[in-house]
């Protein structure tokens, strides 16, 4: 493995600095990430968190660690009960349904299933046992069926968030309760209310508070001492702060080595919020854009940085991933055709070009170096990976053009680069389980939805444009191409044939009509090119094979 001496560093929210990652047990990692409260479809803020920690999970496995990854479901909560009452549905059934919908979203985003996915309702005994220990240790008290944690019993309260008890104004986050010894005390157990789900306990019928569930389930699956606890920055206080306090109260030896938190998602530079009307579920985004485009967009930002979601940014990500898959598809097709007609690449070892060798070296080094620097993903997507795709495109062109002297070297380069690129994409979670052709078709289907067109509409437009070209109606041909480009449909003329195909692309911006040039020739018109793609985009797949359809 390249750069094996590079140390993996992560930012520890507890110490507020990067630290070399050293697991408690050599070769093994125990990790807990706070999951969703399952009362609705998950939003892109959830996608941000779970893509980030899926990347961590994948990279730890890539480094050779045996990882136990636990991510919970909160399946009993005030929000769940409220939504169930609104829908006239059983809270347990509603929550279970949205747990399954969440898993579908995670599968779409290529997030690996955690080792364990515990649900609160399945761990009541562990929760009650932990609460009982906290009471026995003098850190909690029962009042009329409720149990509250006493923050005064834990002098280190606030060490994760940096907040002091006097900073926690009563009523700021929770309703003021005169029964509390300190307004900052929080509920471990809530007495049952009429019509709500409840369980028997030493303190009467009730259900757990939000914070205790994660402490109980993490200790059940990982013990009281484990390596990584993760979640969104919004969970730092009060959720994770309270977890630390109650876990230590139940077991003085409780210890978590690294606390990791991902950044927020903004929408067009504003905080995502239902009240602002800029709230998007994962399902809403992936109906219009491929899930890999959403994952690519999220990985294009460091996991601790705020992410600004916008249509233009998801368009860039969508176009980028399409081009990656087009390159992979074309490379495999070219290699397959070559291997069927001549000696295979496996028989020409030792002829790998210096350019391909340099690409492979850079891919391996960059993956290890950048991800070991607190999972720094943006440069991986925009540097060595793009260089490798360019070389693959060039080699595919050589094979298609039947340049026999260069065949063996090009075939070997494609073989080796395909292996390395797929390895990088796999670690990043960008390698889909479907075939390249299937993924490309999925991108095209979503492009048609965005354009509000059918495949038949596009094919009719291509036929009409071909007829216009034949009749030398250059203005009409240009109009057809431009109209489709404005909708994100790019026409590509296959070099050396009369065939035109289409592919998704970033919608072109409508330009003011240029003044007519009566003396401009058809030949001059044909030399015009569409607007150049953004420099942020990866190279066009196989430019020698397909060219943007020239205006007529």
Find out whether 411 and 335 touch, Cβ atoms under 8 Å. yes
pLDDT at 291: 98
Tell me what pLDDT residue 38 has: 97
Of 260, 287, 314, the one marking the end of a domain is 287
75 alpha-carbon distance from chain centroid = 23
> Residue 482 and residue 508: Cα distance in Å, rounded?
8
- Roughly how many angstroms between the first and final C-alpha of the chain, as a whole number? 52
Q: Which residue has the higher pLDDT, 135 or 399?
A: 135
| CATH number, position 129 | 3.40.50.620
Mean pLDDT calculated for residue range 134-139: 98
pLDDT tens for residues 273-325?
Answer: 776 777 899 999 999 999 999 999 999 999 999 999 999 999 999 999 999 99
Nearest to 37 by CA among 235, 325, 259: 235
Please tell me whether residues 57 and 83 are part of one structural domain.
Answer: yes
- Examine the pLDDT at 174 and tell me if it is beyond 60: no
pLDDT band of 424, cuts 50, 70, 90: very high
- 550 vs 239: which has the higher pLDDT: 239
User: Is residue 189 over pLDDT 70?
Assistant: yes
pLDDT given for residue 339 in this prediction: 82
Domain check: are 220 and 72 in the same one?
A: yes
pLDDT of residue 269: 80
Same domain, 99 and 39: yes
- For residue 216, what are the domain limits? 20-287
How far is the C-alpha of 92 from the C-alpha of 198, rounded, in Å? Answer: 11
Question: Residue 43 burial by CB count (10 A; 0-12/13-18/19+): exposed, middle or buried?
Answer: buried
- Residue 101 inside a domain? The answer is yes
State the average pLDDT over residues 481-509. 92
Judge if 159 and 101 occupy the same domain. yes
Query: Is residue 530's pLDDT more than 50?
Result: no
- Residues 91, 146: one domain? yes
According to the model, what pLDDT value does residue 343 have? 53
72-131 pLDDT, tens digit each: 999 999 999 999 999 999 999 999 999 999 999 999 999 999 999 999 999 999 999 999
Considering 482, 502, 522, which residue would you say is the last residue of a domain? 502
Contacts within 8 Å (CB) and 24+ apart, 249-253: 249/133, 249/134, 249/137, 249/139, 249/140, 249/149, 249/153, 249/154, 250/130, 250/133, 250/134, 250/137, 250/215, 250/219, 250/224, 251/133, 251/219, 251/224, 253/224, 253/225
Write the pLDDT tens digit of every residue in 143-169.
999 999 999 999 999 999 998 766 654
Query: 406 pLDDT exceeds 70?
Result: no
Question: Which residues, in sequence order, are CB contacts of 414 under 8 Å at separation 6+?
Answer: 331, 334, 335, 345, 392, 395, 396, 399
- How many distinct structural domains can be found in the chain? 3
Do 276 and 140 sit in the same domain of this protein? yes
pLDDT of residue 211: 97
């Amino acid at each position: 493995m390249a750069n094996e001496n590079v140390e993996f560093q992560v930012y520890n929210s507890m110490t507020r600095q990067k630290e070399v990652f050293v697991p408690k047990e050599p070769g093994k990692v125990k990790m807990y990430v706070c999951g969703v409260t399952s009362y609705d479809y998950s939003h892109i803020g959830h996608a941000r968190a779970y893509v980030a920690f899926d990347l961590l999970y994948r990279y730890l496995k890539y480094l050779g660690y045996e990882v136990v990854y636990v991510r919970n479901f909160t399946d009993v909560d005030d929000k769940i009960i409220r939504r169930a009452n609104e829908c006239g549905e059983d809270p347990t059934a509603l929550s279970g349904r949205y747990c399954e919908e969440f898993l579908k979203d995670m599968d779409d985003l290529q997030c690996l299933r955690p080792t364990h996915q515990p649900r609160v309702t399945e761990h009541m005994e562990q929760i009650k046992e932990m609460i009982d220990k906290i009471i026995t240790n003098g850190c909690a008290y029962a009042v009329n069926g409720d149990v509250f944690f006493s923050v005064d019993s834990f002098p280190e309260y606030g060490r994760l968030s940096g907040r002091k008890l006097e900073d926690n104004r009563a009523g700021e986050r929770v309703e003021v309760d005169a029964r509390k010894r300190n307004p900052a005390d929080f509920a471990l157990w809530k007495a049952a209310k009429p019509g709500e789900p409840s369980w028997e306990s030493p303190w009467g019928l009730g259900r757990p508070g939000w914070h205790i569930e994660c402490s109980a389930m993490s200790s059940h699956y990982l013990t009281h001492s484990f390596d990584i606890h993760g979640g969104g920055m919004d969970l730092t206080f009060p959720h994770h702060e309270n977890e630390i306090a109650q876990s230590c109260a139940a077991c003085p030896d409780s210890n978590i080595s690294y606390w990791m938190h991902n950044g927020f998602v903004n929408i067009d530079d504003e905080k995502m919020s239902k009240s602002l009307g800029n709230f998007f579920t994962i399902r809403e985004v992936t109906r219009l854009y491929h899930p890999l485009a959403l994952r690519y967009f999220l990985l294009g930002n460091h996991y601790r940085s705020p992410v600004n979601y916008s249509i233009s940014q998801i368009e860039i990500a969508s176009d980028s991933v399409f081009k990656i898959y087009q390159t992979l598809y074309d490379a495999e097709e070219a290699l397959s055709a070559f291997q069927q007609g001549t000696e295979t690449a496996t028989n020409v070892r030792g002829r790998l070009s210096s350019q391909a060798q340099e690409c492979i070296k850079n891919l391996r080094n960059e993956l290890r170096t950048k991800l070991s620097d607190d999972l720094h993903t943006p440069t991986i997507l925009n540097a060595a990976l793009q260089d490798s795709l360019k070389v693959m495109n060039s080699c595919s062109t050589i094979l298609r053009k039947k340049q026999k002297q260069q065949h063996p070297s090009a075939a070997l380069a494609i073989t080796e680069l395909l292996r390395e690129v797929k390895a990088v994409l796999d670690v990043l979670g960008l390698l889909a389980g479907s075939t390249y052709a299937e993924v490309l078709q999925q991108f095209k289907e979503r492009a048609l939805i965005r354009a509000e067109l059918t495949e038949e509409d596009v094919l009719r437009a291509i036929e009409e444009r071909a007829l216009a070209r034949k009749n030398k109606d250059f203005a009409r041909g240009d109009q057809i191409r431009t109209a489709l480009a404005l909708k994100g449909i790019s026409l590509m003329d296959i070099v050396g044939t009369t065939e035109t195909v289409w592919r998704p692309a970033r919608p072109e911006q409508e330009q003011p009509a240029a003044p007519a040039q009566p003396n401009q020739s058809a030949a001059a018109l044909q030399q015009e090119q569409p607007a150049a793609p953004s420099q942020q985009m990866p190279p066009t797949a196989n430019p020698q094979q397909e060219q943007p359809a020239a205006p007529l």
